[in-house]
Structure 1
Amino acid sequence: MTTGSTRLSKPARREQLLDTAMTIVRAHGTDGLTLLSLAEAAGVSRPVVYDHFGTRPGLLIALYRRLDERHRAASEQALRDAPAVPREIARVLSAAYFACAADMPEWTAVSAALKGSQEMEAIERELLDAYTDLMVTALRPHSGLPREDLRLRCVGVLGAAEAIAAELNRGRATVATAVAALTDLIVGSIDAAAPQSRTR
């Protein structure tokens, strides 16, 4: 355990605290995560934790943003590694979307703990916009649509993805069937406007 006497830069201390917070959520859920429990687990004083996050919602939002950064980095790497054909790009985007639930259960827990927060709603919109832009950038070379029209289709596809995720959470779908369904929706959406991109 890191002790309070260990000298870390402010960014390094923040990373250490977020790592510790992630461990607490994994072991005890978000109910077990408070500024006090984090300070105790990280071996620092309470003022150190307050200085970084201010409030418990502030801590949860920082954790949510950190999870999103990791998810985005993994998605971008997977896209770089994917063959430059529509179906493979669509499959990678679909797999990345549903990887949140499968690979990062903390994401769902933190999101649920922040439900009803106006700040969280604003952040979710911001992150959804960013993910939409990621999709548009990846798909645009394979679509004849103007950027704004393609973006609107991506917004619609992500709405469908959210509905599929709800079915997945209810046990009415598997990750494999969810990925396959979303892949087909993405491919169908861009193919409808760009028959020349049907090569797979």
Structure 2
Amino acid sequence: MSPTKGRKLAKPERRAQLLDTAKEILRECGADALTLGHLAERAGVSKPIAYEHFGTRDGLLIALSQEIEDRHTEKLRAALNTAAKQLDAIAGIISAVYIDCAVESGEEWQAISGALRGNADMIATQQQQVDDYVAMIKAALSPFSGVPDDDLRLRCTGIAGAAEAIGRELIRGRTSEAAASSNLAALIIDSTKS
């Protein structure tokens, strides 16, 4: 039995426990098995507690998606803060962190995204996540770019799309981590040039 199962926890701790349990269910049983009732039972809490935290199954899936994105953003921010101020170093960090996150949670993210396909709240959440990611990489690449600001934003949007596609190729076993990372870094470097 988990040390937090059934024990009274502060709301943020309980939410974190529920999200961890939801990820376990996703990995072991797939997205179809992830219901608030199953989550509550597996976490050792009552159904109302699960509903209080997420409202609906879609709310839970969106919270999982946001948690994955927040983790990715924090890893990227931390890595960029310690990076050498050179284009190849920045590009290498952006690509390595993205590929690392794809390996770490790519299958979970794909299952969540698939389960919420067409959900208006998920579409809005994903768009905000992309916008935030684009802004972060644009800020990191801006000192090395000679292209106009709007063009760099569009190129960073393309980088985000390429990163997602390369991540899918990796998850499907169609490329290695090293090849995925080095090719994404090459795209980033090429996209920054005038």
For the criterion TM > 0.5, the same-fold answer is yes
Whole-angstrom distance in 1 between the partners of 2:69 and 2:163: 17
TM-score between the two structures when normalised by the length of structure 2: 0.89
Residue aligned with 1:82, SS: coil
The more displaced of 114-123 and 62-71 is 114-123
| Offset, 1:87 | 0.7
The aligned counterpart of 2:189 is 187
Q: Tell me the residue number matched to 1:197.
A: none
Give the Cα–Cα distance (whole angstroms) in 2 for the partners of residues 27 and 169 of structure 1: 17
The whole-number CA distance in structure 2 between the counterparts of 1:11 and 1:81 is 29
Name the counterpart of 1:134.
Answer: 136
* Alignment-derived partner of residue 84 in structure 2: 83
Counterpart-to-counterpart distance in 1, 2:167 and 2:75: 19
Instruction: State the shift of 1:169 in Å.
Output: 4.0
Q: Which amino acid aligns with 1:175?
A: E
> Could you say if the C-alpha distance between residues 46 and 69 of structure 1 is closer, same or farther in structure 2, counting changes exceeding 3 Å?
same
Percentage of matched positions with identical amino acids: 49
- Measured in 2, the distance between the counterparts of 1:85 and 1:77 equals 16
> What's the CA shift string for 1:81-107, capped at 9, x where partnerless?
222110111011112222232111322
Mapped to 2, the partners of 1:171 and 1:20 lie a distance apart of 27
| Secondary structure of the corresponding residue to residue 40 of structure 2 | helix
Q: Deviations over 1:118-175 (max 9, x none)?
A: 2211111110010001101111111233432211111122233333334334433222
How far is 1:180 from its partner? Answer: 1.3
Kindly indicate whether the alpha-carbon contact (under 8 Å) linking 2:87 and 2:141 is maintained by their aligned counterparts in 1: yes
Query: How far apart are the structure 2 equivalents of 1:94 and 1:27?
Result: 29
CA distance in structure 2 between the aligned counterparts of 1:171 and 1:11, rounded to whole angstroms:
36
Q: Could you tell me which amino acid in structure 2 is paired with residue 27 of structure 1?
A: E
Q: Could you tell me whether the CA contact under 8 Å between 2:169 and 2:175 is conserved in 1?
A: yes
CA-atom RMSD in angstroms: 1.8
**Residue in structure 2 matching 1:155, options 157, 161, 165:** 157
1:101/1:108 contact within 8 Å kept: no
Corresponding residue for residue 65 of structure 1: 66
Query: Contact 2:103–2:171 (CA<8 Å) still a contact in 1?
Result: no
Q: Is the 2:145–2:192 Cα contact (8 Å) retained in structure 1?
A: yes
**Counterpart position of 1:42:** 43
Structure number with bigger Rg: 1
After superposition, the Cα gap between the structure-2 partners of 1:84 and 1:165, relative to the gap in structure 1 and judged at 3 Å, is same
Paired residues of 2:99 and 2:177 also in contact (CA < 8 A)? yes
Cα deviations across residues 22-70 of structure 1 (Å, max 9, x unaligned)?
A: 2222222222221111111111111111111111111111111111111
Q: Which residue of 2 aligns with 1:24?
A: 25
What is the aligned counterpart of 1:165 among 164, 167, 175?
167
Greater shift, 110-119 or 167-176, is seen at: 167-176
1:198 equivalent in structure 2:
none
Amino acid at match of 2:21: T
TM-score if structure 1 supplies the norm length?
0.87
Q: What amino acid is the match of 1:72? A: T
2:117 match:
115
